[in-house]
Amino acid sequence: MSPLPGILKGLITTARTALRPTHTAEYPDVAPELPPRSRGVIALLEENCTSCMLCARECPDWCIYIDSHKETIPATTEGGRDRQRNVLDRFAIDFSLCMYCGICIEVCPFDALHWSPQFEYAEVDLLDLLHEKDRLHEKDRLGGWMASVPPPPALDEKAAEPAEIAAANRPARGAGPAGGAGGSGPRMPRTVRPRAAGSPRPDAGGSSPAAPSPPDAGEASP
Amino acid sequence: MSLLEATLRAASVLAAFLVLPLLVGQAEHKVMAHMQGRLGPMYAGGFHGWAQLVADGVKFVQKEDITPRAADRWVFRLAPAVALIPYLLAMATIPIHPGVAAVDVPGSLVLVLAATSVGALGTLMAGWASANKYALLGGLRAAAQLVSYELPIVLALASIAMAGGSLSLMALTQAWSPWWLLWQLPGGLVFLVAACAELQRPPFDMPVADAELVMGAWTEYTGLRFAFFLLAEYAGIVVMSLLFAVLWLGGWHGPFEDTLGWLWTLLKGFGVAVLVIWVRVAWPRLREDQLQRLAWLWLVPIALAQLLLTGAGVVMGW
């Protein structure tokens, strides 16, 4: 009969699998190897946040809550103008609503939100999934997740140049022959601001947490 | 036999009845897991999950014992006992050491056969009394399977009884010789296949086919009664494995059989149990008609041929 070889094959296959090492990951004892860019929890780098509300408005299920107030910074120079800035009072993400789409992180112009691979924040009470930026427990702090944010993984081979680097490497507009496509000689830039390589523009959205004003604002507020 | 000795024998059989099925169950957990590239239970009890089945038992005890309103109360409640106790009886008659069996009766082979058949009756009772269509179908499938596979088992055992010239398991094991390994091989294979089917183990688990019949005759059972059915299944594996080890593999025959005979019996039985588990992991379930085909077109003719061969052997004095 023809089924006999197949039957023996089944026995051999299972026996061979039994002799090989298993695939089981003993999770609570052994940390899982997560792929890069894993979406575990959203971490907040508070210093970078300007309370611009973009994330809250883009969030598809409205799970980000932001409260802020304006503060006046007195002019530093004689006769100068007073400046106003936003101070973040409350930043909360309700992870019982969050669907981990990552749009808030995409949309943040100042890299205040980051994906952290940390995923062990299950709670007994649904309400405890509302992560405030400064809850009492260190574990529950939205900002506390920042410690677990890994450095960004290296770009893939043949990937396009990162936008910041491409912008920095691009020749200043009007300086090279590429800018003179109009044919009538080198065109002068229309704006007054020169866009030299040393301008602060490209790094404003960079990863340096020491953005110009927010850190000292905390001390200035009382 | 004094009362003390009888009590002692009964207690030891009960202890074996409670320990050996758990050993087989744990072996099934681990062997099946590794055959599927998993680890199986690892936490209960600390060392490689050895206490997993104990924990399962504790869990089953805590569950509510439900009898459906439409069920035939007494039959429904009695069925697990009917499924379980015959295997206890069968286990008592199996000789494990030269001259040692809990109960040594002259016709123990017939007794074992009768007891295991009654065990399958428990499934039929459960299926009939549950007042549930899945349970009823499962029970009827179990009955059909029992009718088909009892015959090959009886024929295979009859061949052994002829070869050994006795109906006592003890005498048959005494009469065993390595030559039987070859001479009785076809009957042995028939017995193994039919025993798997009798126990409703995969690949012959049509009566409990969970994809079609939920859990077959056990669908309505909860808690301890359900656990008894599971225990009966594993006790059945132990009984059938030991029976095969004793009759076809020589039981206690081996080096130092005067002192280590019991060990050889248990080891051989355990090896057969692992084979039963292996078969479960490796092969898919047969269809109902394939099951009947296998029984009537293959097993019964092979068993009859074995009977003929044995008869010829006995007459010629091999």
| pLDDT tens-digit readout, A122-180 | 888 888 888 887 764 445 567 778 878 888 878 888 888 888 888 888 887 765 555 44
CB contact under 8 A, B282 and A26: no
For residue A193, give both structure tokens. Answer: 């601001």
**pLDDT attached to residue A186:** 52
CB atoms within 10 A of CB A63: 19
In DSSP notation, A110-176 reads T--EEEE-------SSGGGGEEETT-SSTTT-TGGGGGGPPPPPPPPTTPPPPHHHHHHHSPPTTTS
Residue that wins the pLDDT comparison between B129 and A172: B129
Q: Which residues of B touch A7 (CB under 8 A)?
A: 282-283
Tell me the CA end-to-end span of chain A in Å, nearest whole number: 90
Nearest CA in chain A to B42: A26
Give chain A's mean pLDDT.
Answer: 76
- Which residues from A are below 8 Å from B282, CB to CB? 7, 10-11, 13-14
Tell which residue, B204, B243, B272, has the closest CA to residue B110.
B243
**A57 lies in a domain?**
yes
- Scanning A7-46 for CB atoms below 8 A from B yields 7, 10-11, 13-15, 17-18, 20, 22-24, 26
Q: What's the confidence (pLDDT) of residue A204? A: 43
The distance of A31 to chain B (nearest Cα, Å) reads 16
Note whether B304 and B159 are within 8 A (CB).
no
Q: Determine the Cα–Cα distance for residues B314 and B318; give it in Å rounded to an integer.
A: 6
Nearest to A214 by CA among A29, A73, A38, A39: A73
- pLDDT digit string, tens, across residues B51-87: 888 898 899 999 888 888 888 888 888 889 998 899 8
CATH number at residue A62: 3.30.70.3270
> Contact A11/B37, CB-based, under 8 Å?
no
Q: pLDDT tens, B283-301?
A: 888 888 888 888 889 899 9
| Nearest residue to B84 via CA among B198, B241, B227 | B227
Residue from A4, A20, A23, A24 to probe the interface with B (highest B Cβ count within 10 Å) = A24
Q: Can you say whether residue A37 is alpha, beta or left, with left for phi > 0 and alpha for psi between -120 and 50 degrees?
A: left
Distance from the Cα of residue B5 to its chain's centroid = 27
Q: Min CA distance, A16 vs chain B (Å)?
A: 8
Query: Does residue A183 lie within any of the structural domains?
Result: no
**Contact criterion met (CB below 8 Å) for A22 and B39:** yes
CB atoms A14 and B35 under 8 Å: yes
Q: Which of B31, B34, B278 sits opposite A11 (nearest CB)?
A: B278
Helix B223-247 with B3-35: angle, nearest 10 deg: 90
User: Six-digit token pair at B31?
Assistant: 């062997």
Among B35, B279, B283, the residue with its CB nearest the CB of A17 is B35
User: In this structure, are strands A83-94 and A130-132 parallel, antiparallel, or unpaired?
Assistant: antiparallel
| Closest-CA distance of chain B to residue A40, Å | 26
Among the partner-chain residues B35, B281, B283, the one whose CB lies closest to the CB of A7 is B283
Q: Tell whether the model's pLDDT for residue B24 goes beyond 50.
A: yes
Q: Verify whether the Cβ–Cβ distance B35 to A23 is below 8 Å.
A: no
Q: Is the Cβ of A4 closer than 8 Å to some Cβ of chain B?
A: no
Query: Which chain B residue's Cα is nearest to A13?
Result: B282
The answer to whether residue A76 sits within a structural domain is: yes
Query: Residue B257: left if φ>0, alpha if ψ -120 to 50, beta else—which one?
Result: alpha
Structure tokens at B192: 């193994």
Residue A98 lies in a domain: yes
Whether the Cβ atoms of residue B104 and residue B95 lie closer than 8 Å to each other: yes
Contact B282 A24 (CB under 8 A): no
Whether residue B39 and residue A24 make contact (CB cut-off 8 A), yes or no, is: yes
pLDDT digits (tens, 9 = 90+) for A57-97: 999 999 999 999 999 988 888 888 888 888 888 888 888 99
Best mutation target, B28, B29, B32, B35, to test chain A (most A CBs within 10 A): B35
Domain count, chain B: 1
CA end-to-end span of chain B: 38
Q: Is residue A50, in this structure, part of any structural domain at all?
A: yes
* Lowest mean per-residue pLDDT among A44-53, A141-150, B163-172: A141-150
User: What are the two backbone dihedrals, phi and then psi, of residue B295, each rounded to the nearest 5 degrees?
Assistant: -65, -50
Domain that holds residue A130: 41-152+206-212
The answer as to whether A177 is a domain residue is: no
Amino acid occupying residue A41: V
Query: Average pLDDT, stretch B177-205?
Result: 86
Chain B partners within 8 Å of A13 (Cβ)? 282
Give whole-number Cα distances, B139 to B57, B90, B129, B196, B234, in Å. 25, 22, 10, 17, 19
Closest residue, chain A, to B37 (C-alpha): A22
Q: Between A and B, how many residue pairs show a Cβ–Cβ distance under 8 A? A: 35
Mean pLDDT of B174-185: 83
CB A20 within 8 Å of CB B37: yes
Number of structural domains, chain A? Answer: 1
Q: Is residue A74 part of a domain?
A: yes
Euclidean distance between CA atoms A200 and A82, whole angstroms = 22
A117, part of any domain = yes
Tell me, what's the pLDDT at A203? Answer: 44
**Boundaries of domain holding B138:** 3-316
Place of tokens 């869990």: B59
